[in-house]
Structure 1
Amino acid sequence: MNARTVVRAHAVGPTAQALPALLSALDRGLTGRTPAAVLYFASSEHDPLVLAPAVSQHFPDAAVIGCSTAGEFTDQAIGLGGISAIALPHGVLHRAIAVLGHLDPDPAEGTAAAVRALEQRLGSQLRALDPDRYLGFLLVDGMHGSEEQVNDMLGNTAPLLDFVGGSAGDDFAFRSTWVAAGAEVSFHGVALLLCESAVPYRIVKSCSFSPTGRTLEVTEADVENRTVYEFDNRSATAAYAEAIGANPATLGAEDWIEHPVGLMIDGQPWIRSPQQVLADGGLRFYCQIMPGMRVEVMRSTDVLGETTAALEAARADLGGTVAGAVIFNCCLRRMEMDARGLTGRFPEALAGIPSAGFHTYGESWFGHVNQTLTGVVFGI
């Protein structure tokens, strides 16, 4: 076993069965190596007050973070109701630090407090770190709409440092999500994992959409509540429905899964996905859209093929051999795969790279986006 190889595992069943199976599988894969960091992703069916202490106590010398999901996967398995996990051993990472930030009542201050805790334990400011050696993971509550503030605070604090991650899910119940760092759990928080990498790494972003050529200008919006009331000085619902050729009276998830809107930046789409049609003609989104933005109406392309291409490009850029990857995949991409009968093939799309991750309520990298896969691929 190469010391610079990640270990991933997936387990199903009730917590009393799945948790021991997961930990045993990680132990077998580690073969005596010690992990610098462990990330785990669990269905909301599992009690975090059981999981968090158990995982952190099992790996007492590792930085451990976890969250609830809208589905879990590795490159070998995919499912609902289970737990996936990945161990990043010494050899992949030199060291890692995990902290929990509480976002209630002020997400910005909660994130700032978490950053201060990281910096105190690290003995250095984040903005002073070498971005070729250091990177961060973040798992953030997916129900309180705090992701933009969290990402803005991280960007202001450490503008050159990559923080990659996703918003916790709750299996589409949309009631409550959780994140954890060590044995500590929060139902409105952010878990930050700062890593000093021992190997080169690449950030992956895969967004399987292309612009239709139709644009919409946001002329009235409630930014805090992620709601657009007008596109092009018209009812947001009516203007959007017309742009995608749909009936405004029957707009639903199948429409915006195929046709979200997005910003094109350097030829790449950054997606904002509708979430709900409001009775007053407004359109609520999964992330913020600002007044004055001109957004492109998108069409979906090849979700599996483009995922594979993005991961293969990262592997090639790292010399052809990699240690593994941590992956965050949007729950709307999962819904698209479900509708097309492609879900079972998703592990194959991970290009044979040892990987683990979860289906999210939003993705983080340079901000909060939707219908995107983000991740980190570690080299050897």
Structure 2
Amino acid sequence: MELTAVKTRLRSAVSWQPDTRKAAEELIEGLGDVDAAALMFFASPAIGGDPIAQALTRHFPAAAVIGCTTAGEFTERATGTGGVSAIALPRSLVRTAAAALADLDRGVDAGITAAVAQLERQLDRPLRDLDPDRYVGFVLIDGLHGDEERVNDLLGNAAPLLSFVGGSAGDDLAFTKTTVYADGTGHDHGAALLVLESDAPFRVIKSCSFEPVGRTLTITDADVPERIVWELDGRPAAQVYAEAVGCGIHDLGSTVFMSHPVGLMIDGKPWIRSPQQVVEGRGLKFYCQVLPQMQVELMRGTDLVAETRHDLRRAADDLGGHVAGAVMFNCILRRLEIDQKDLGDQFVDALADIPTAGFHTYGESWLGHINQTLTAVLFGAPRSTTD
């Protein structure tokens, strides 16, 4: 199906200016005179997120604004590092928007509970009462404290029917400090939340380019909070994994891990968990939690660009081909694969000129915390234009 541009479209912008002030000016110029109900931005730490957050909040005072630092940025026109991307959702598409910043320093539970209460005050109703066909949530979580699973669990408890889609903030692979922002305020141990009431239909997308190789592994011993698996099938995890892949323990590293993550299979689809490193010569540390007695499938890669294009097309078809724009969260490991294989132009081409802003993440969120995946929300035409 051919994608049909709609009159009411999201506005995306990107700047590769190294000077923060010039980058903010370029973003604002790119977004134009849109009457924004909500705005999201994704900034390299080289640019500096604080001035960007403050500049956008000042220029769009009536909009709910969230953002974060990144491990790369992209729009439907370009992908790269060291820049800042942004997207504005117009009032003709979004009826209401509420943003809150969860401070997790005093505990994840307390921080998310307070932020949810703030959102509910702004929306004047409990999140669990929101119509999931009209409301959607976005969540940006700092990428270095390992709180993603608990944040997603708490959001699921507060709003069981509502989708929260997003990613973990990055810092260009320095792994020293990531920051999230809401309405001009930043925090390096927090979560930025945004809830929208959309006047357009939308679809949540989960795209990952892997398939099972036919080898099932059972987690028999794991340190869940530390995301370490000590045993697979009752034996040292690194040894069992290396045998399944077909290499020695000393050959295990980022290349093998990126090519062969494991997947929790749900309804025939993999939810990816990616190994990060060998621990003490026998354990495997993952980028997200895996639980004891969980059965996972060893994976092999397929075609990242083709899978991305296919999943976006399918969502667009579900929307009748009427596409207003998208917000996307793409794993840093997928970005590294894109870089290694020189697929940047093809990845951008797969977005099919859909107005898009996104960033390369330290983990993706939707119904939980996952790896090596693209999560996204694709918006269709406002109902008033298609009814």
TM-score (norm 2): 0.95
Number of aligned positions between the proteins: 376
State the partner residue of 2:344: 343
State the partner residue of 1:369: 370
1:17 aligned residue (9, 19, 22): 22
Q: 1:167-205: per-residue Cα shift (whole Å, max 9, x none)? A: 000111111100000111000100000000011111111
1:286 maps to 2:267: no
RMSD (Å) for aligned C-alpha atoms: 1.1
2:12 aligned residue (8, 28, 41): 8
| Amino acid of the structure 1 residue aligned with 2:14 | H
**Mapped partners of 1:289, 1:33: distance in 2:** 43
State the partner residue of 1:54: 55
Judge which range, 353-362 or 14-23, deviates more. 14-23
**Mapped partners of 2:362, 2:334: distance in 1:** 10
Structure 2 portions without partners, runs of 5+ = 382-387
Q: Is the 8 A contact 1:18 1:83 kept in 2?
A: yes
Q: Secondary structure at the match of 1:246?
A: coil
| Amino acid of the structure 2 residue aligned with 1:210 | E
Q: 1:186-230: per-residue Cα shift (whole Å, max 9, x none)? A: 001000000000111111110111001101111111000001111
Structure 1 portions without partners, runs of 5+ = none
State the partner residue of 2:385: none
Q: Is the 8 A contact 1:3 1:89 kept in 2?
A: no
State the partner residue of 1:170: 171
Q: Residue 3 of structure 1: CA displacement?
A: 4.9
Q: Residue 366 of structure 1: CA displacement?
A: 0.3
Q: Secondary structure at the match of 1:54?
A: helix
Q: 1:19-72: per-residue Cα shift (whole Å, max 9, x none)? A: 211111111xxxx43011100000011222222211111110000000000100
Q: Is the 8 A contact 1:3 1:33 kept in 2?
A: no
Judge which range, 350-359 or 320-329, deviates more. 350-359
State the partner residue of 1:129: 130
Judge which range, 349-358 or 200-209, deviates more. 349-358
State the partner residue of 2:158: 157
1:319 maps to 2:320: yes
TM-score (norm 1): 0.97
Q: Secondary structure at the match of 1:70?
A: coil
**Mapped partners of 2:345, 2:252: distance in 1:** 27
**Mapped partners of 2:261, 2:247: distance in 1:** 13
**Mapped partners of 1:91, 1:135: distance in 2:** 16
| Amino acid of the structure 2 residue aligned with 1:25 | G
Q: 1:93-139: per-residue Cα shift (whole Å, max 9, x none)? A: 11111110011131122111110110111110000111111110010
Q: Residue 2 of structure 1: CA displacement?
A: 5.4
Judge which range, 344-353 or 226-235, deviates more. 344-353
State the partner residue of 1:141: 142
Q: Is the 8 A contact 2:208 2:373 kept in 1?
A: yes
Q: Residue 88 of structure 1: CA displacement?
A: 0.5
**Mapped partners of 2:48, 2:242: distance in 1:** 41
**Mapped partners of 2:80, 2:351: distance in 1:** 15
**Mapped partners of 1:25, 1:48: distance in 2:** 18
Q: Secondary structure at the match of 1:175?
A: coil
Q: Secondary structure at the match of 1:73?
A: strand
| Amino acid of the structure 1 residue aligned with 2:125 | S
% same residue? 55
| Amino acid of the structure 2 residue aligned with 1:62 | A
**Mapped partners of 1:256, 1:280: distance in 2:** 15
Q: Is the 8 A contact 2:166 2:375 kept in 1?
A: yes
Q: Secondary structure at the match of 1:358?
A: strand
State the partner residue of 1:39: 40
Q: Residue 343 of structure 1: CA displacement?
A: 2.4
Q: Is the 8 A contact 2:11 2:34 kept in 1?
A: no
Q: Secondary structure at the match of 1:224?
A: coil
Judge which range, 165-174 or 271-280, deviates more. 271-280
| Amino acid of the structure 1 residue aligned with 2:325 | G
Q: 1:260-295: per-residue Cα shift (whole Å, max 9, x none)? A: 001110011000001111124211101000011111
**Mapped partners of 2:36, 2:50: distance in 1:** 22
